Structure 1
Amino acid sequence: MNYIPFIGLFILVILIFSGLVTVAQGNVAVVTLFGSYRRILRPGLNFKIPILEQIYRKISIQNRSVELEFQAVTVDQANVYFKAMLLYAVQNADEETIKKVAFKFISERDFMQALVRTIEGTIRGFVATKKQAEILGLRREIVEYVKAQLDHALEEWGYHLMDLQINDITFDKAIIDSMSRVVASNNLKAAAENEGQALLITKTKAAEAEGNAIKISAAAEREAAMLRGQGVALFREEVAKGLSHAAEEMKQANLDTNVILFSMWTEALKNFAEVGKGNVIFLDGSSEGMQKTMGQIMAFLQMNLTTKADSKGSNTN
């Protein structure tokens, strides 16, 4: 029995199956022929020439990330420790881009080493021009600086830097302690200034309130004094009018006006006794004392009448 046809068929089947290549979604396969670039295979089932064509490399076009930890030194010789996350990907699935990715570096490991070292060196160069007190506020500036420096280089390699996130920036313990003390002292200073401003405002408002109260009290006292003066003046005016009227009537009746003085004297004694509240008041009860006291009262009343007459005359003028 001749097995040669079966053997030949079997070998042919093996060759056909060996030429079938499956490329996963999100990947591209690079095919070489005798070591030279031949073509690329897209996701799905593909066929290559058995034995002659070889799969040189399968390249993922999906997003990839890597974590970085490194140290930098500021211009004032402070150690800064960075923790960052790098997100990158192949620019696109075009043939020229895939050729760059496949042949620029010997392996994926070599590319990663170059990428990480380039980013670390770029950040170290930026940090070396800054002081440690500035670094914490420069996260965005650091990321923008790295992207600006790497965009062209990554484009030549066929990659694109999608994002660089600086997750943590720390310093040596001694620097952290000193920064904490500075922050604490600044907070205490700000608190003291705020308390001083609050106390000043409180004192100022209290002084303004006290001043306003004094002004109001003075105005009220002035008004009360004026009203009291007006009341006393009116009282004296009415008393003078009553005495003058009584004196005129007694003259017309041919009576002695000293009776008025005697009546006022007795009324005064009566009022002293009623409102004295137990106080001792010494009065000269003799006729000379009465005449002297009443004369003083009449002179005082006459002076008020004269003053009033003069003021009326000046107002008329």
Structure 2
Amino acid sequence: MEFIPLIALGLILYVLFSSFKMVRERSAHIVERLGSYNRILHPGLNFVIPFLDKVSKQINLKIQQMEVQIETKTKDNVFVKLQASVHVQVMDTKVKEAYYELDNPYNQISSYIFDVVRAEVPKMDLDDVFARKDDIATAVRMELAEHMEKYGYRIVKTLITDIDPDQLVKDSMNRINAARRNKEAIAEDAEGRKISKIKDAEAEKESKRLQGEGVAEQRLAIIKGFADSVEDFSNTLSDVSPSEIMQFVLLTQHYDTVKEIGEKNASILVPYSPGTLSGLQQQIMEGTQLSDNLNKLKISSLEEEAIKKAEKKH
């Protein structure tokens, strides 16, 4: 009999502690009284009647992620595996429906995903599946939202995270991509060589132009030097004809050149007649005349420019 008070105290404490239920944040519990739905317990401290009220297991109100893999065939008869990721959340206002309506909600959601993906992908070629995976995800989300909201589930987001074609198809795609990139590399390399050759040709063209101008100026300077020498002789020796002066200058230049060549050990002199200088004399005389004509043209051009400037000022 002495244990009765202890038993009674223990029973009272059990009933007291059983009367309170602590619910965590972002979760809920269903209370059934005598087997029937009674109410929903929300986050915080809640009171229940022991022995009459039965509290269900925790219902998670956080966003949960589902991963579903679907195998299907594209329009161009390529077997492909798609990985779909669906973010699902039990709606705060429909906890009762989420608990009672579906026995296994995630199997039901997976069935809808299979149905939508296998309806959309066969309409597309393999390349379109890669390019339009967001469209497939949108179609899945809209279909799930339409059917699952009435059961208390909200579809937050849907993603197609992976597209995996058959291995033979992947090998073929890799070979095609490698060939395309190799073709582009060859084209770029050829274009680079083309540009390089064009630049080299332009540089050679410019070099030859400058060399030609240099040779022309050098010859013009030589001719002018001969012309000045002839003019100096004419002023000094008035009784000597220009032809004789030219012959003298040529002969002097000729022997100076022969002397300079003879000082080099590697030089070989071939016998010749000084009389062959007559042809060179004729060329120099023609060059002298050309130099005079060029000087006259330059002077005339300068005079015309001076006249034009004077007219503009007036």
TM value normalised by structure 2: 0.70
Distance 1:198 1:11 in 2: 93
One-letter identity of the residue aligned with 2:67: E
Which residue does 1:160 correspond to in 2? 154
Which residue does 2:141 correspond to in 1? 147
Which residue does 2:186 correspond to in 1? 192
Of 13-22 and 149-158, more deviation after overlay is shown by 13-22
Distance 1:13 1:216 in 2: 116
1:101 matches 2:130: no
Q: Is the 8 A contact 1:15 1:50 kept in 2?
A: no
Q: Is the 8 A contact 2:75 2:123 kept in 1?
A: yes
1:65 matches 2:65: yes
Which residue does 1:37 correspond to in 2? 37
Which residue does 1:88 correspond to in 2? 88
One-letter identity of the residue aligned with 1:141: D
Distance 2:135 2:220 in 1: 77
Distance 2:50 2:253 in 1: 149
Segments of structure 2 that go 5 or more residues without pairing to the other structure are: 263-268, 301-314
Q: CA deviation at 1:24?
A: 3.7
Which residue does 1:251 correspond to in 2? none
Which residue does 2:132 correspond to in 1? 138
- Give matches, 1:123-272, under 5 Å: 123-243=117-237, 245-247=238-240, 268=251, 272=255
Q: CA deviation at 1:48?
A: 2.7
Q: Is the 8 A contact 1:18 1:50 kept in 2?
A: no
Q: Is the 8 A contact 2:112 2:143 kept in 1?
A: no
Distance 1:172 1:81 in 2: 8
Distance 2:84 2:69 in 1: 7
* Cα 1:149–1:213 shift into 2, 3 Å: farther
Which residue does 2:114 correspond to in 1? 120
* Cα 1:272–1:313 shift into 2, 3 Å: closer
Q: CA deviation at 1:236?
A: 2.8
Q: Is the 8 A contact 1:23 1:42 kept in 2?
A: no
Distance 1:156 1:212 in 2: 83
Q: CA deviation at 1:197?
A: 0.8
Q: CA deviation at 1:35?
A: 4.5
Q: Find the residue that maps to 1:179 and give its secondary structure.
A: helix
Q: CA deviation at 1:77?
A: 1.3
Q: CA deviation at 1:51?
A: 4.3
TM value normalised by structure 1: 0.70
Segments of structure 1 that go 5 or more residues without pairing to the other structure are: 248-256, 285-292
Q: Is the 8 A contact 2:64 2:88 kept in 1?
A: yes
Q: CA deviation at 1:59?
A: 1.6
Of 53-62 and 115-124, more deviation after overlay is shown by 53-62
One-letter identity of the residue aligned with 2:21: T
Post-superposition Cα deviations, 1:240-270, rounded to whole Å, max 9, x if no partner, equal 4444x245xxxxxxxxx9xxx7xx88x9599
Distance 2:152 2:22 in 1: 20
Distance 2:97 2:7 in 1: 41
One-letter identity of the residue aligned with 2:100: F
Q: Is the 8 A contact 1:57 1:102 kept in 2?
A: no
Distance 1:229 1:134 in 2: 80
Distance 1:176 1:274 in 2: 81
One-letter identity of the residue aligned with 1:222: A
* Cα 1:14–1:202 shift into 2, 3 Å: same
Q: Is the 8 A contact 2:83 2:162 kept in 1?
A: yes
One-letter identity of the residue aligned with 1:75: K
1:275 matches 2:269: no
* Cα 1:271–1:80 shift into 2, 3 Å: closer
Q: Is the 8 A contact 1:23 1:29 kept in 2?
A: no
Q: Percent identity?
A: 22
Distance 2:211 2:107 in 1: 86
One-letter identity of the residue aligned with 1:205: K
Which residue does 1:289 correspond to in 2? none
Which residue does 2:307 correspond to in 1? none
* Cα 1:191–1:185 shift into 2, 3 Å: same
Q: CA deviation at 1:135?
A: 2.5
Distance 1:273 1:11 in 2: 140
Q: Is the 8 A contact 2:85 2:159 kept in 1?
A: yes
Q: Find the residue that maps to 1:100 and give its secondary structure.
A: helix
One-letter identity of the residue aligned with 2:206: N
Of 74-83 and 191-200, more deviation after overlay is shown by 74-83
* Cα 1:16–1:272 shift into 2, 3 Å: closer
One-letter identity of the residue aligned with 1:87: H
